[in-house]
Structure 1
């Protein structure tokens, strides 16, 4: 009798396990980094502040070749990050802003660059070191008012970079 119960339990488990795997949502692809505070555009998507597509599930994945100046890092499936009319919420800040990068996979870092209106306003040397899980930079913006800051994490051991745009109203 007990042997029959064990066999029945094993058979039930064998039948249910594949269904559970298919029915469960897939896990996020943890692979890189983005600015989490003030909320970048991809952070706003992940937090459902703004309605977005695939980037909602992969805020850390805006990776493209070094040297680009776009919010989506050249990744066509994240093109909505370039849309300035999407309703991005601007965080009120002073002219000096503290940016927090959150990393889900860390790479050696060449540097971090910050741009406003196509002009580089700050560069932070990464020393070709692997950063901690969170890295903080304080950047002084060139002017007051609403602006989009393009932040770039240039990887030291690949030809790629990670891109993150942050909308702020600097006072």
Structure 2
């Protein structure tokens, strides 16, 4: 009987690492992204544009505060920085609602929006923890035509932020 237990233990010890590697892994329960108008990572998650790992983790584009890249400096998601990837451009008005979908709420300092190399809007949350969705009305301030908007969610109690790029065509 003792030898059967030892054999079972050896088999279990040999099979366990294989199961850990072979079983599918669910998406990371990370943080948040712009869902409307659809950000680049939202387009990846929906299959609108073919992408790599960001397809499974649209909420995971996190990096140090102050960056100006769609990938948040994360090499795994560098394809988000590729402006020629075929991103769907959403027609919008001169003022547009940007809706964030949050999977984990963080104390928030600010939400920032950039287009044409300048900040076009900032919303100060003063450390507030937002709900599952957050919507901001952003005025493009006279910008027209195709714009790549960089939306940034700055976390209050860490040195990181979440990044999303949204391709829009600002109408008259």
| Aligned residues between the structures | 155
Structure 2 segments unaligned to the other structure (5+ residues): 1-15
Deviation readout 1:29-56 (Å, 9 max, x if unpaired): 1110000111000000000000001111
Aligned partner of 2:71 in structure 1 is 72
Aligned partner of 1:168 in structure 2 is 168
* Other structure's SS at 2:66 match: coil
Alpha-carbon distance in 2 for matches of 1:144, 1:25 = 45
Normalising by structure 1, what TM-score? 0.86
What is the root-mean-square deviation of aligned Cα atoms in Å? 1.7
Aligned partner of 2:144 in structure 1 is 144
Alpha-carbon distance in 2 for matches of 1:93, 1:131 = 25
Structure 1 segments unaligned to the other structure (5+ residues): 1-17
Runs of 4+ in 1 over 6 A off after TM superposition: 18-23
Aligned partner of 2:106 in structure 1 is 107
Aligned partner of 1:156 in structure 2 is 156
Normalising by structure 2, what TM-score? 0.85
Q: Please show how residues 37-56 of structure 1 align to structure 2 within 5 Å.
A: 37-56=36-55
* Other structure's SS at 2:63 match: strand
1:118 CA drift (Å): 1.6
